[in-house]
Amino acid sequence: MADKYSAVWVSHSSMGDFIKCPRAYYLHNVYKDPKSRRKIGIVSPAMSLGTAVHEVVEGLGSYKVQERLQRFNNPEELYAKFDEEWKKISGKIGGFTSTEHEAEMKARGRAMIERVIAHPGPLVEKTVKFGSDNPSDMLPHYFLSEEENIILCGKIDWLIYKPESDSLHVLDFKTGKNEEKGDSLQLPIYQLLLHKLQKRKVTGASYWYLDKDDAPVEMPLPDLARSLTSVLAVAREVKKARDQAKNFSPEMAFRCPKGPDGCATCTPFEKIIRGEAEYVGVGGYNQDLYIA
């Protein structure tokens, strides 16, 4: 029976965890520390860099086109915003273990902001709002399968509005050095969410690799029926494992594909469980954060 509060919620990040390693999925998305009753997370410089840059760039979407143009023409406010966001992830809370490495990463982040200012491109086009700006609100979501009580959720970086066709173009900002893999579920998930939760047609999608490209790279839109099939298949595996964990044990339901020695994805979480990682504080999603 469909019930939002007992449903299994899946997203691009959680299903990505599961695909890489079911054990890592369990430790990151299900397990709670017995003492704090909070989930656990791992901080890294790359993740923190991405958070700071996204806050600045995505934040531009809350302004009308003319106001955005003014900020591009007078960018000091954007640089100040970046410095403000960086303070939130500075030091060990952001996974930085040396001032030299942090300075290097901050310089990379500022260079991304400079690139956006110099080449605003799609960011000065009209946009459409999707979801809430309030981090405490639920992400856009719908029942991927009411019968199986599975909910798909997700947040989309930027939606360009194309008035000539009254349609949408998805824009996703990338701050890492690696390009998104061809079999990624990200665009299929975005496509399903937009198809279900708003009326306009999606006619395009792009990734913008801010670390190296002055303009977004357009991606082929996946077939909607195939998107549903591929996303639902992974979501069902997640639900199956969670059901098995309830009926038997998490150790049996969520196993690392590399065996008992673990893999690169789950090993850092195992270090936390063994007390071998460094606790750095509570994060924005009420997670206990560690450097592992």
Tokens linked to 154: 């997700």
Of all residues in the chain, the percent with pLDDT exceeding 70 is 99
Residue 250 resides in a domain: no
Q: In terms of pTM, does the model score above 0.85? A: yes
Tell me how far apart the alpha carbons of residues 103 and 82 are, in angstroms, rounded to a whole number.
Answer: 14
Cβ partners under 8 Å of residue 87, min gap 6: none
The DSSP result for 30-92, as a single string, is T---TTT---EEE--HHHHHHHHHHHHHHHGGGS-HHHHHHHHHSTHHHHHHHHHHHHHH-GG
Average pLDDT over residues 204-209: 98
Q: Answer yes or no: do 106 and 147 share one domain.
A: no
The pLDDT value given to residue 2: 77
The pLDDT value given to residue 3: 86
At residue 284, does pLDDT exceed 90? no
What average pLDDT does the chain have? 95
Residue 247 resides in a domain: no
Q: Which amino acid is at 219?
A: M
The pLDDT value given to residue 138: 86
Band the pLDDT of 201: cuts 50, 70, 90. Answer: very high
Average pLDDT over residues 266-274: 97
At residue 167, does pLDDT exceed 80? yes
Q: Answer yes or no: do 133 and 105 share one domain.
A: no
Q: Answer yes or no: do 215 and 166 share one domain.
A: yes
What are the strands, taking DSSP E only, across 43-140? none
Of all residues in the chain, the percent with pLDDT exceeding 90 is 92
| pLDDT digits 0-9 by tens, 136-153 | 678 999 999 999 999 999
Which of 193, 188, 88, 85 minimizes the C-alpha distance to 131? 193
- 245 backbone dihedrals φ, ψ, rounded to 5°: -65, -35
Average pLDDT over residues 183-211: 97
Q: Give residue 43's domain range.
A: 11-123+256-291
- 206 backbone dihedrals φ, ψ, rounded to 5°: -145, 150
Residue 171 resides in a domain: yes
The pLDDT value given to residue 285: 85
Residue 240 resides in a domain: no
Count how many domains the chain has.
2
The pLDDT value given to residue 136: 66
Band the pLDDT of 111: cuts 50, 70, 90. Answer: very high
Which of 153, 151, 152, 155 minimizes the C-alpha distance to 132? 155
At residue 26, does pLDDT exceed 80? yes
Q: Answer yes or no: do 144 and 217 share one domain.
A: yes
At residue 132, does pLDDT exceed 80? no
CB 253 within 8 A of CB 23: no
Q: Which amino acid is at 227?
A: S
Q: Answer yes or no: do 130 and 225 share one domain.
A: yes
Sign of the CA dihedral 155, 196, 207, 72? Answer: negative
Which of 288, 262, 291, 292 minimizes the C-alpha distance to 39? 288
Q: Answer yes or no: do 202 and 178 share one domain.
A: yes
